[in-house]
Every structure is written in structure tokens, then in C-alpha cells.
């Protein structure tokens, strides 16, 4: 039975207020945590990531080209690979500078996938084993 003594009432009010405050804080913390899960990248952040990816792509493909040059490939393989290198560099930088970064993101996935497929289905079969370093570069891009 609850007593009618004033000090007990104050204690009960204090306890209920404390419980209400702790409950409100718990829900507030949970709401903040849910908002973090729903984080969406801004267009500027996505554009920055696309530019970074284009730089990584360019450096990996350029390094693969330098490794290929060290292996002294056939002249026709060298000429074809240099044209592929120039076109791939141009395409990834053009895509990274796309005014709509969402479209650029999808285009970048498509272009890098297609370059790897072109290598695996055509370049590797057409030219000598020295082009394998280019394949290693394309595989590194996806890692």
C-alpha cells in the first residue's frame, strides 16, 4: 500500500520523472542511431569518389602498360594496347566528370566491366602472353 506521507509522494514523483527521462533518452538515442543507418551520399561526395576511382583506374592501367613495355610485346600488340590505354583513360575521366554523378557511377561500372571483358575475350586470345600483365591490372581494379 502506498503511503500518503509527503516525503513518499516526492520520492515517487522523483522516481517516475527519472524513469520518464531515461526512457526519453533511450528513444532519442535509438532515433539518432537509425538516422545514421539511412545515410545517403551527397552528389558532391559521389562525384569525388568517381574522380578518385578514375585516378586509381588510370594509375593501375598505366602501371600495367609499363610492365607490358618491359616484356617487349609484339609490335601489333603494343600498338593495340596503347590505343586501348588512351581510349580507356579518356573514357574514365570523361565519365568521372559527368554532370550527373549517379549516371556517371553506373557508366563507370559498365566501362570498367567492359574493358575487363574485352581483355579476357579478345586481347588475351589474340596476342601473346605478355599481355597478361594488363589482365592483372584489370583484375586489380575490381579488388
Q: 130 vs 134, which has greater pLDDT?
A: 134
Cell numbers found for residue 140: 586489380
**Per-residue pLDDT tens for 47-59?**
999 999 999 988 9
Q: What is the pTM of this model?
A: 0.65
**19 has a pLDDT exceeding 80:** no
The full set of domain ranges for the chain reads: 1-39, 43-141
Q: Which helix (H) or strand (E) holds 5?
A: none
Tell me how far apart the alpha carbons of residues 89 and 92 are, in angstroms, rounded to a whole number: 6
Quick one: pLDDT at residue 81?
A: 79
Q: Which long-range contacts (CB under 8 A, 24 or more apart) does 44-48 make?
A: 46/101, 46/102, 46/104, 46/105, 47/96, 47/101, 47/104
The CA-atom distances, in angstroms, between 82 and each of 6, 35, 87, 89 are 90, 48, 9, 11
Average pLDDT score over the chain: 78
Amino acid at each position: 500500500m502506498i503511503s500518503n506521507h509527503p516525503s513518499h509522494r516526492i520520492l515517487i514523483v522523483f522516481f517516475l520523472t527519472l524513469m520518464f527521462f531515461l526512457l526519453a533518452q533511450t528513444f532519442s538515442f535509438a532515433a539518432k542511431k537509425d538516422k545514421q543507418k539511412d545515410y545517403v551520399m551527397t552528389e558532391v561526395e559521389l562525384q569525388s569518389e568517381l574522380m578518385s576511382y578514375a585516378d586509381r583506374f588510370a594509375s593501375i592501367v598505366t602501371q600495367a602498360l609499363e610492365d607490358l613495355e618491359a616484356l617487349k610485346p609484339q609490335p601489333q600488340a603494343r600498338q593495340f594496347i596503347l590505343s586501348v590505354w588512351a581510349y580507356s583513360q579518356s573514357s574514365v575521366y570523361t565519365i568521372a566528370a559527368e554532370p550527373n554523378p549517379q549516371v556517371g557511377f553506373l557508366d563507370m561500372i559498365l566501362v570498367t566491366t567492359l574493358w575487363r571483358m574485352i581483355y579476357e575475350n579478345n586481347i588475351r586470345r589474340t596476342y601473346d602472353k605478355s599481355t597478361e600483365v594488363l589482365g592483372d591490372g584489370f583484375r586489380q581494379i575490381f579488388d
